[in-house]
Amino acid sequence: MIRLLAGAAVLVMLLRPEWMEPLLAPLTRNGAPAIYTQSSLLGLTLLHLALVAAATLASALVAVALAVLVTRRAGAEFRPLARTITQVGQTLPPVAVLALAVPMLGFGTWPTLLALFLYGMLPIFENALTALSGLPPPVAEAARAMGYTPRQRLLKIELPLALPVILAGVRLSAVIALSTAAIGSTVAARTLGEVIIAGLVTNNPAFVVQGGLLVGLIAILLSDALTVLERRVSPYGSSGTRA
């Protein structure tokens, strides 16, 4: 029900923003516009989502690769190092990363992508690490004893069994990236943050509410969609008997 309402609200705000005018008009002063029209909200949303998708995908690839590496016998000694790297990635405030990255990467998408990528690695890495080291010992032993090569064990047994937990990490990371991406607009990345910043700069709360609400609602929907995906790939099946 909440999902439906959120979905409807997002659609209205993106496709018929003028319908929101009566609601937002009381927030404006001195006859300022209530609806952001400098660029299309739909276009900004798509750019925002693309940025989040790219950053989360990169985080996921690197974090899962790291987790796989440190759960192999040869890579076990890099485990503390990998932990430190991902933790530092999470500890550095994205704003600081933006400030540091702009001189090297210039304004726009790239520094934002870097900040989101670093920020998003930790949840995926930690989940992947937990899932890959938590394989039930009889299952691990059976796979070895049946003549699976290490590579076959990883691809056919370990990763499929770890997938739901890894995806939970990806979901967390994607939702965090979705809300954090807005700050990318401080360095001129095209995101929904543009609307919020425009509101702050022109002292127009209507814009801030519009941008903030959109980001928040989309985050809820995204989280829901990824939860559904997680359930579908659960090795135990939603009913327990599905093949």
Partner 1 sequence: MIEIRNLSRRFGPVTAVDDVSLTIAKGEMVALVGTSGSGKTTLLRMINRLVEPTSGAVLLNGQDTAGLPAHLLRRRIGYAIQGHGLFPHYSVARNIAAVPELLGWPAAQIRERVDELLTLFGMPPADFRDRRPAALSGGQQQRVGVARALAARPEVLLMDEPFGALDPVTRAQAQADLRRIQRQLGTTTILVTHDMEEALALGDRIAVMDRGRLVQCADPATILTRPATDFVARLTGRSDRPFRLLGLLPVADLVEPGEAEGAPVDPELSAREALAECLWSGRSALPLAGGGRVTLDRLTERARGAE
Which positions lie near partner 1, rule CB under 8 A? 136, 138-139, 141-149, 152, 157, 160-161, 235-237, 240-243
Q: Which is nearer to partner 1, 42 or 146 (CB)?
A: 146
Q: Which is nearer to partner 1, 34 or 131 (CB)?
A: 131
- Dihedral sign computed on CA atoms, order 113, 119, 121, 124: negative
Q: Which is nearer to partner 1, 161 or 177 (CB)?
A: 161
Minimum distance from residue 168 beta carbon to partner 1 (Å): 16
Minimum distance from residue 165 beta carbon to partner 1 (Å): 13
At which residue do the structure tokens 């702009």 appear?
A: 102
Q: Which is nearer to partner 1, 18 or 141 (CB)?
A: 141
Cα distance between residue 64 and residue 83, in whole Å:
12
Cα distance between residue 140 and residue 71, in whole Å:
13
Helices (H), 36-152: 41-71, 79-91, 94-105, 109-133, 137-145, 150-152
Minimum distance from residue 135 beta carbon to partner 1 (Å): 10
Q: Which is nearer to partner 1, 43 or 237 (CB)?
A: 237
Task: Give the burial string for 94-113 (b: 16+ CB within 10 Å, else e).
Answer: beebbeebbeebeeebbbbb
Minimum distance from residue 179 beta carbon to partner 1 (Å): 33
Minimum distance from residue 161 beta carbon to partner 1 (Å): 6
